[in-house]
Structure 1
Amino acid sequence: MLKINKALKVSIFHRFLFLGLVIPFLFNTTKVVAEAHRIQQPTQEMRVEVKEIDQRALILRDYFAKFNSPLQAHAMDFIDAADTYQLDWKLIPAITGVESTFGKFVPGGTDPNFTSHNGWGWGVYGTQAIYFKSWREGIFTVAEGLKKNYIDKGLTTPFTINPKYAASKAWGGHVEFFLRDLNEFAASYNHFSMEAATPAADKLPVIHANVENKTAGISAKLALRIP
């Protein structure tokens, strides 16, 4: 009986010894695995790009505001497109003024679900019109077209662009008006006082804004070479 008790005690002692060695090892292993897992987690960084506001965009935004234009929020798009295609930054806005009263009268109306984002008379003839997915897409498409089909071919002023872009001979003069008006607005612009001169209403050119029968001086067949 004594031998059995001794054997039992030895067995119990060995078991406790085993547990005493194994349990700390397991805890240490778990800790190491947890540390390794924590270290391997990728670090997420938030990057905020700060872009300096272009003074031209501020001028254009406030100029559009005079006409309650829906294009106020897209002033920077006009500047980006002009810089990309090396155009006078005032040219496309001036054309927009003639063709759609700065985006207020366009095929499809101004409802975001139906608007054509086409404030330049592109492809507008009869009841048909070119539809752009966004104002930005329209601005850049028109900028590229003006650069490749007009400016690069020596047609650099509203009057030289006129015969190819529009059927009305008065179109060039109307575009020139807005170019001068915007240029004067820019010269007198003070963003802090917001006291830029406003042109007399009786000096504004007459713009036909009937969208259903919209011509506004534009001839899509001449501008886009539609057969």
Structure 2
Amino acid sequence: MEINLLLDKASFAKKIILLITFFAITPLTLIVCLISLVAISSTESVTTITQAEILEYPKPGVQIFASLPSDLPSISAEVIAADARPEIIYNYLAANNSPLAQYSELIVSIADNYELDYRLITAIAQKESGLCRVIPEESYNCWGWGIHSQGTLKFSSFEEGIETVSQGLRKYYIDEGYETVEQIMKKYAHPSSTTWAEGVLNYMNQMQ
């Protein structure tokens, strides 16, 4: 009898524990579920607002479609390599602190106009005046052009000097058969100069 009584008490205690556990866990479970639902709802709301803002304020140059149009425009482009020669001349002149640096595009343009190597007058200026660092005062003559015992030819600007020297190289040298730097040296440089052509060619090779 005592054993049965003890078993009944133990069974009753288990039931009490189960009931207490049930009533304790169930509210917690419901609270967790409610919090999860609220969090999911908030996330969807934020996403909707963000997309609406993007559609309302598109970035400049961007076209936004609610759905893809039936015929999207085709885009074709021809890639044209930029002329790097003015930059080559500019970098060379700037590295040598030459006042001609700002005229790099003009130098190349005029060289093309007279069908000259775009590096030629820059190399001559390096040989004759250290790229205009040592020239007669207010002469703008970086090329030793027209400088002789009777006087010095002066230009009104570097632009005029670039134009005049380029035109002269074409008219009085190349068109008369002085087509290489070595041949130009025979007429351009002092008769005693034997390294003029070598120096000019060396400077030209530095502009690659």
TM (normalized to structure 1)?
A: 0.53
- Aligned pair partner of 1:94 in 114, 123, 147: 123
Distance in 2 (alpha carbons) for counterparts of 1:147 and 1:102: 21
Q: 1:144 aligns with which of 167, 178, 185?
A: 167
Whole-angstrom distance in 2 between the partners of 1:117 and 1:127: 18
* Offset of residue 170 of structure 1: 1.5
Q: Which amino acid aligns with 2:117?
A: D
d(CA) in 2 for partners of 1:102, 1:135:
12
Q: Which residue of 1 aligns with 2:108?
A: 79
1:165 maps to 188
Aligned-residue offset at 1:54: 4.1
Who is 1:118 aligned against? 141
Q: Which runs of 5+ in 1 are unaligned?
A: 1-51, 109-114, 187-227
Equivalence for 2:152: 129
Q: 1:126 and 1:149 mapped to 2: Cα distance?
A: 20
1:65 aligns with 2:94: yes
Q: Which residue of 2 aligns with 1:177?
A: 202
- Tell me how far apart the structure 1 counterparts of residues 155 and 200 of structure 2 sit (CA, whole Å): 22
Q: Is the 8 A contact 1:94 1:175 kept in 2?
A: yes
The number of aligned residues is 126
Q: Please report how far the alpha carbon of residue 151 of structure 1 lies from its aligned counterpart in structure 2 after TM superposition.
A: 0.9
Q: Which has the larger radius of gyration?
A: 2
Q: For the residues of structure 2 that align with 1:163 and 1:53, how far apart are their CA atoms?
A: 36
Retained in 2: the 8 A contact 1:163–1:169?
A: no
Question: How big is each residue's C-alpha offset from its partner over 1:79-131, in whole Å with a ceiling of 9 and x where there is no partner?
Answer: 111011010101111101100111111110xxxxxx21100101212472111
Which amino acid in 2 is paired with 1:85? Y
Using CA pairs below 8 Å that are at least 6 residues apart, which structure has the higher relative contact order? Answer: 1
Change (3 A) 1:127 1:70: farther
The residue type paired with residue 177 of structure 1 is: N
> Does the 8 Å contact 1:124/1:130 carry over to 2?
yes
C-alpha contact 1:64 1:71 (8 A) present in aligned 2: yes
**Which amino acid is the alignment partner of residue 170 of structure 1?**
T
Moved more, 138-147 or 123-132: 123-132
Q: Which amino acid aligns with 2:139?
A: S
1:175 partner amino acid = V
Which of 111, 131, 136 in structure 2 is aligned with 1:107? 136
Partner of 2:85: helix, strand, or coil? helix
Q: What is the identity percentage for the equivalent residue pairs of Structure 1 and Structure 2?
A: 39
What CA distance in whole angstroms lies between the structure 1 residues aligned with 2:171 and 2:134?
A: 27
Q: Which amino acid aligns with 1:90?
A: R
For structure 2, the residue ranges without an aligned partner over 5 or more in a row are 1-80
Read off the aligned partner of 1:179 and give its amino acid letter: M
Q: 1:54 to 1:135 in 2, by over 3 A?
A: farther
Q: Distance in 1 between matches of 2:149 and 2:177?
A: 30
**One-letter code aligned to 2:200:** V
